[in-house]
Amino acid sequence: MNTNGQKQEKKPTNAQLERRLATAVLHIDRDKDTKSIFFDDKGLRITVTEDYAIIGTSAHQHVFNAITPSGYSRPYLYTKRLLEIALDNDCTHKDEKGNVSYSYTKLFAVLHAKEDKLEYNLCWYIDLWLSNIFTPLFDIDETEANSFIVYEQYVHNMARMQAILKEKTEDVTNLQYINEVLTSERKFVEGLQESVIFKKKTDEERKQEEIDALGDALAERTMEEQTKENGKEQQ
């Protein structure tokens, strides 16, 4: 018992910790070079150690080795650079209660305001890559819509791989590549029976979306005003 009468949780013994580590599917030690950041408005956590880069959301984590058989991992290097840029720039946000957190939106606003757009362009490119993590790519469900999305993603990926791996007998432009992907996708879905997977929204649903949009706009405006006030205080 502690001084407040609450039962204290027992700390695991060394032997218990060793057993947990031995049976753990994934365990990554923090080292002297470990750095981490959590973007509260994005629900995105990035952690980089000497050996790994971890990109985490509330639903899943992606772990990239620093070294692969072909050399340094590009996902590791890009993730590490994004983290470094975020920590080197003022992208913190203070809410009404005084809680300070990192803001993904503010990071891009700060970088975009700079005359030198090198860091902004790099982070924009990384954001395109990261956006795949926030798509339904990793979602799976039994509903008609989600089931079809899983199938559509499979078809799209197969079409992309065909276009990428196809033997090149001549130069291929960006538009030609896209056309090849779309052509392959159409071939995959030939004979597919048409059915409704997304139903139109009701009037109540549309009204609720408008209310939510107004709330988001108000929150964003409040954040901008607080950012300006914080800037004045620092001057």
Q: What is the pLDDT of residues 93-145, one digit of tens each?
A: 888 888 889 999 999 999 999 999 999 999 999 999 999 888 877 778 888 88
Q: Given a cut of 70, is residue 53 above it in pLDDT?
A: yes
SS3 category, 33: coil
- In this structure, is the dihedral angle defined by the CA atoms of residues 53, 132, 218 and 88, taken in order, positive or negative? positive
Q: Given a cut of 60, is residue 8 above it in pLDDT?
A: no
* Segments making up each domain of the chain, as ranges: 26-134, 136-199
The Cα 208–Cα 214 span in angstroms is 10
**Alpha helices (H) in 57-202, listed in sequence order:** 74-88, 104-113, 118-130, 144-165, 174-188
Task: Give mean pLDDT, residues 193-197.
Answer: 89
